[in-house]
Amino acid sequence: MSDLPAHVIDNPHLGTWLSVADGLLEVHVGKVELGQGILTALAQIAADALGVPLPAIRMVAAHTTDGPDEGLTAGSLSVLQAGPALRHVGAVVRALAGPSEPVTSYVERVAALDPHTDLTSVAPAGAAETRSVGRSEARLDLPDKVLGRPRYLADLRPEGLLHGRVLRPPSPGARLVELDQGWKATGVELVRDGSFVGVVGEREADVDRALEQLRRDTTWAEEDSLPDEDDLPAWLREGPHEVIEVVDEGAPDEVALTASYSRPFLLHASIAPSVGMAVWRDGVLHVWSHSQGIHALRDAIAQALELAREDVAVEHVENAGCYGHNAADDAAFDAVLLARAVPGRPVQSRWTRPDELTWGPLSSAMTATVSAGLVDGRITGWAYDVWSQGHTARPGFRGTPGLLAGAHLAVPVPMPAATDPPLPGGGGTTRNAVPLYDVGPRRVTGHRKARTPLRSSAMRALGAHLNVFAIESFMDELAETAGVDPVRFRLDHLTDPRAAHVVETAAHLAGWDDPLPEDVGRGLGFARYKDNGAWCAVVAEVAVGSNVRVRRLTVVADLGTVVNPDGARNQLEGGATQATSWTVKERVRFDRRRVTSDDWERYPILSFAEAPLVDVHLVESDAPSIGAGEAAQGPTAAAIANAVHGALRVRVRDLPLTAESIVRAIEAQE
């Protein structure tokens, strides 16, 4: 058979994907629920593929020994990757068992199938009837969350559970130099390996108190190693760099305009801190984690502790969402190291809020410079350089475990600088660095900083947030230079009809030409995520007074076939809202030694009262499905910045768009 889904080829046995229990068809997938509703969408695909109603399906959380390895849940790829696999599995099952009424009879025949059946060697049945896909089915995960029933990893209370806490060093590079060998605290056991220090105990109150006592009773060697937070663009441009040549068709013959843009380091800032749980029992290490990549986490733990992969099992359990590489994997490894000291007892390790905000992987600061030629309203050439740290330090990156506590052990596990996912499907520093417009000859180059004291990794959209902000801000600047309306200017340079459609539709729905009050501006941003994903245009309506207040966002996206319209709208709305917070408020603060933004006062995020009205419109399409989760971030940032310019006639090129950054831009313009 040709054109077999890649995930079926990698996981060819029927029993890896499907089982029967309690009269239900249990569907096992390798993609994980992070709050994005993906298990509901995949359940809809599976139900149609198997030829059963949705209530006949039960989705099983990802598990390294009881389910397929589908890699990371990232990059807005879950429906694109897992959907075809589930359709093939369902078609094979229908060919072997044949759906019929009643459903119970069909389920019994499925239960009798050989779980070792090779999915690659059975001719699948024809296309199934579409009954669930395309409908806004109710989310499977929400009832427990709305009603407050135990569902999260932090809620688990297995028999014999111990609680754990880890004392993080006070700063990057700090080394533990003094802790009394006879140190004791009520109700806890001390666990130490080099600069890794933690406690385990029966009661959370005891381990919390012991953690504070440890903080007082330890002495650390520290040094100033962090950059000047007010001069990050210059620091990012200092070498050494790994140069990423994306495209080189030549530079503009004559440059009409040059501009530079930047953003600071950002945090995932999940509302709940990360949690991990582990138990060493009968020669097997079992780990529970809200990681985005449980198979990679398993391999990293095995590598760090020199264990056989088959002796480590990792099970996904939902917890605080992150849409990127937050501290979930690190918290899991903390639990592993603590549990090693108490064999046979499960240990649940929860991070503190300050640790979550100061030790979780950061989203890299970035800066870009773009130049273009312009003749008679047409762009005649384009040069773009972007500087950044790497955007992935996930477990297993650069062949290393990449787990925080590993760097603090007596025999440390190296933690090299972050890298980037490979192009063309990935990219980090250079994600969305190539404009979709017809701009003449292009030169696009990335510069990834090779050495840094600050750990960075993947966060929703990766480099697309800054790159789209820079490109789309620059498109507005070019339009102004040419004396052309920004929407018209974009349409004049677009040859992709799906791109032009979302831009035109967003402008129309937002009332682009309608008059606005004084100090209110309207701006547009557009991109196709990763240049091969969803097309998304955003129009922002922004009021500028003592601060920037985003009043309304109009989001238009072409996602191809939409599995669950309500879920897709939620993803776009959530992405646009989060991007608003990044764009107008968020910034990691630090001095030359420590990250200082360790609470919500010093790392403010968008409040409910500040959240804009978000109108989402989905383009009807029968094209293949593409993801929604990361499509709106870059366009939202650009739309807000362009709207600020519309309100003030001042171009702010450095994020976040705070009152201070606007004042600096005004002073620079004067």
What SS3 state is found at 256? coil
Closest alpha carbon to 265 in 455, 527, 464: 455
The whole-number pLDDT of residue 669 equals 82
Residue pair 55/88 in contact by the 8 Å Cβ criterion? no
Q: Which of helix, strand or coil describes residue 84?
A: helix
SS3 for 319?
A: coil
**Mean pLDDT over residues 288-299, rounded?**
97
**What pTM does this model have?**
0.95
Structure token digits, residue 631 = 């499509």
Rounded CA separation 244/89 (Å): 39
Query: Would you say residue 543 has pLDDT above 70?
Result: yes
- Any idea where the domains of the chain sit in the sequence? 6-147, 154-222+271-359, 366-391+427-669
Per-residue pLDDT reduced to its tens digit, 10-21: 999 999 999 999
pLDDT of residue 382: 98
Q: Which of 510, 434, 475 is nearest to 645 (CA)?
A: 475
Cβ pair 372, 381 in contact under 8 A:
yes
- Is the predicted pLDDT of residue 2 greater than 70, yes or no? no
**What is the CATH topology of the domain spanning 154-222+271-359?**
Aldehyde Oxidoreductase; domain 4 (3.30.365)
509: nearest Cα among 475, 549, 555? 555
Residue closest to 225 by CA, chosen among 215, 233, 235: 235
Q: Does 6-147 match 366-391+427-669 in CATH topology?
A: yes
Beta-bridge partners for 166: 198
Q: Which CATH code for domain 366-391+427-669?
A: 3.30.365.10
Q: How far apart are the first and last CA of the chain?
A: 67
Q: In the chain, what percentage of residues exceed pLDDT 70?
A: 100
pLDDT of residue 251 exceeding 90? no
- Residue 432 has what pLDDT? 96
Q: Is the N-terminal amide bond of 424 cis, ω within 30° of 0?
A: yes
Residues with Cβ within 8 Å of residue 134, at least 6 apart in sequence: 561, 562, 563, 565
**Per-residue pLDDT tens digits for 14-48:** 999 999 999 999 999 999 999 899 999 999 999 99
What pLDDT score does 101 carry? 79
CB atoms within 10 A of CB 153: 24
DSSP string, 139-185: PSSHHHHHHT-S-SGGG---TT-EEEEEE--SSTT-EEEE--TT---
Q: What is the mean pLDDT of residues 549-555?
A: 98
pLDDT, position 283: 92
Q: What is the CATH number of domain 6-147?
A: 3.30.365.10
Task: Output b/e per residue, 427-446; b: 16+ Cβ within 10 A.
Answer: bbbbbbbbbbbebbbbbbbb
- Sign for the CA dihedral angle at 632, 633, 635, 641 comes to positive
| Class of residue 578 by CB neighbours under 10 A (exposed 0-12, middle 13-18, buried 19+) | buried
Write the CA distances from 486 to 275, 326, 409, 474, integer angstroms: 46, 37, 55, 10
388-412: burial string, b at 16+ Cβ within 10 Å, e else: bbbbbbbbbbeebbbbbbbbbbeee
